[in-house]
Structure formats: structure tokens, C-alpha cells
Amino acid sequence: MITVTPQLAASFLEKNTRNRPLIQTHVRRLAKEMQEGRWRVNGDTIRFNGDTMIDGQHRCAASIKAGCSFQTLIVRGLDSDVFSTIDAGKGRSAGDTLSLMGITHGNAIAAALKFVERIATGRVTAGGKNAFTNSQVKALFVKYPGIVESVTMIPRKKCIFPVSVLAGLHYLFSIRDREAADKFVFDILHGIGLEEGDPVYVLRERLLQNSYTKQKLRPEFIAAYAIKAWNARRGGKKIAVLKYLENETFPLVAD
């Protein structure tokens, strides 16, 4: 076990002559983990074949970018042909991380947490540019504790609404009005007694139509429609259609 300073990391990278290309998004993600104090010694190693580093380049590059030192195990003397066996197993997902904490429905909760954070920070339309690390998702679980109840009330099968999106919206709506949020979700799922002009009726018809088509709506479009329906219902408005355009500002959740 050694402490790798940015200077030592730079010297390791000088010996990084046979490795895959650096993925800068991964470097930035690891650097942020180090800067924000979420980096943990987990038994992962930096591996060497002679003087050549064959595993650990992203961690070293992140150390330099963050200006932070980190502790790690070092393994030396590996054969030159072991590279193809490194990181060949299944990566641990954020859902796996939550499950290891004893949390049921880990995958659904992780997805809902990410969605809520994207809404809360105005990054819902950023696509793959706002990926979350497993440690960030753990922090979001503390930040949004009510998400568990929202996820557990959404059926996993035959739901016309993406589970993580509907659970995330229920959580956000519940902050404003829990009873209204429960009714909103119930009406979407069951459609009992809805009349034309009711914003949730219009939303549900659009979602049913989407379930029959090959080209599905993107999750952010479904979320925008749902927020607009929520806002209209909260304002007591009747509507005939829901629209959301590609270049439109993403709607805010009304009180």
C-alpha cells in the first residue's frame, strides 16, 4: 500500500507505454471523486509488468487533474500477457451498490435518484453528459430519502410510464402535495373516472399511444409531458393536447 501523489502519478504515466487510450470523461469523473472526498481504498491495484504500468492510468491521470494524492495497492512482476484479463468481469452498477447496502429495488431506486437529481439541477436533457458514479448515487440516496416510497408504489410490469421517471416525478410532486401526487400516479396507472380535458387523461392517452408505436418517446419528453399535465391540473386547467418541442426549455414543477 502506497500513497500516490500527483508527482508520482506522473512518473507512473511515463511508463504507461502499452495501454488503451485514456477516456477523458472517466478521468474527470475520478478526479471529481478525489476532489470531493469520495475516493476510498477498495482493494483495486495499480499493476506493473517490469517498469511498464498495465493498469491504473485513469487513476493516475485523475490524481494529476485533481491535484490530489490517493492510496492504492501496487502489484509488480506480472506477466506481459495478463492485460486482456483485467476488468473482464461485470462492473458493479449503482443499483448493485445500493443492494449491498440492504436496499431492495436497488436498480430502480438508483435510476430514480439520477432522474430526480437531473431535474433538480436542470440537467435532464443533457443525456450521457451527466453520468453518476456509484458513490454519488449513495450520496443522492441520503439527499432524497423519500425516493424509496415513491419507487415501491410503481408496478414493475405493464406500466405505460418508465418506472424510474414516474417514481422520480412522484417524489418531486410529493414535496408539493403528497395526496395530489398519489392521485396523479393512480390516475395514470388506472385511468378510472378520467374525463376528456383532464390533463392526466390527455397524458395517459399520449402514453398509451406511445406504447403501441415502434419509435418510443425519449424519457425526457415523457417527463416534460407529465410535468405539464401536473402543472395544468394544479392550476385547474382543462387541456386538449400536450406539446413539448426539442428546443423548448424544460418545464418546472409547479406548487
From CA 229, how far away is CA 42, in angstroms rounded? 45
Query: Tell me, what's the pLDDT at 92?
Result: 67
From CA 72, how far away is CA 161, in angstroms rounded? 44
Nearest to 200 by CA among 156, 232, 174, 243: 232
pLDDT class of 247 with cuts at 50, 70, 90: confident
Query: Tell me, what's the pLDDT at 123?
Result: 85
Encode pLDDT of 8-40 as tens digits. Answer: 999 999 988 766 778 898 899 899 999 999 888
Of 128 and 123, the one with more pLDDT: 123
pTM over 0.85: no
Encode pLDDT of 102-122 as tens digits. Answer: 888 889 999 999 999 999 988
Nearest to 159 by CA among 190, 196, 127: 190
Encode pLDDT of 165-198 as tens digits. Answer: 999 999 999 999 999 999 999 999 999 999 999 9
Classify strands 52-55 and 2-4 as parallel, antiparallel or unpaired: unpaired
Encode pLDDT of 210-245 as tens digits. Answer: 988 888 899 999 999 999 999 999 999 999 999 999
Task: Please give the biggest Cα pair distance in the chain.
Answer: 74
